[in-house]
């Protein structure tokens, strides 16, 4: 697809303007609402699974791809299997007790990266990253706001 992965665009730009980040996030959330209304949870949202392409008027449009870990869900029960990518995985997924809202967490991480150019949780290994995710403490350095 013309435009490629959002990941590659992040690598190229480093950070996006608030306007562009908001537009991409709005489209991403709209796609996730569509899935959730149909009882489908993606479970591996990340910039590599978002394709971008130019649209008329200079706007950027997105497509969500790779539903390989997607699953149907029921509002009456929790999901238990741990799946996803460490940088984007919700703490509830790591605790093996989650619902479709894990996708919303991943959208928030993507938004953070769009605005700052870096992930909110880091580490030398996947285990380090997942430990940081479980703590859910991070700092958004460009605005000097700490969230705990």
CA–CA distance, 27 with 49 (Å, rounded to integer): 14
Cβ-based burial of 72 (10 A; exposed 0-12, middle 13-18, buried ≥19): exposed
| Catalytic residue chosen out of the listed positions 8, 23, 44, 126 | 44
CA–CA distance, 24 with 15 (Å, rounded to integer): 13
44 is catalytic: yes
Task: Report, as residue numbers or ranges, the catalytic residues.
Answer: 44
């Amino acid at each position: 697809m013309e435009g490629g992965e959002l990941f590659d665009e992040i690598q190229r730009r480093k950070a996006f303007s608030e306007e562009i980040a908001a537009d991409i996030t709005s489209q991403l959330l709209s796609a996730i609402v569509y899935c959730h209304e149909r009882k489908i949870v993606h479970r591996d949202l990340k910039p590599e699974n978002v394709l971008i392409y130019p649209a008329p008027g200079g706007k950027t449009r997105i497509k969500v791809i790779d539903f390989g870990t997607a699953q149907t869900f029921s509002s009456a029960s929790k999901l238990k299997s741990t799946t996803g990518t460490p940088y984007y995985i919700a703490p509830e997924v790591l605790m093996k007790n989650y619902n479709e809202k894990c996708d919303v967490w991943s959208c928030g991480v993507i938004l953070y990266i769009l605005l700052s150019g870096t992930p909110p949780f880091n580490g030398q290994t996947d285990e380090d990253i997942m430990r940081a995710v479980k703590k859910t403490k991070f700092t958004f350095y460009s605005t000097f706001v700490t969230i705990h």
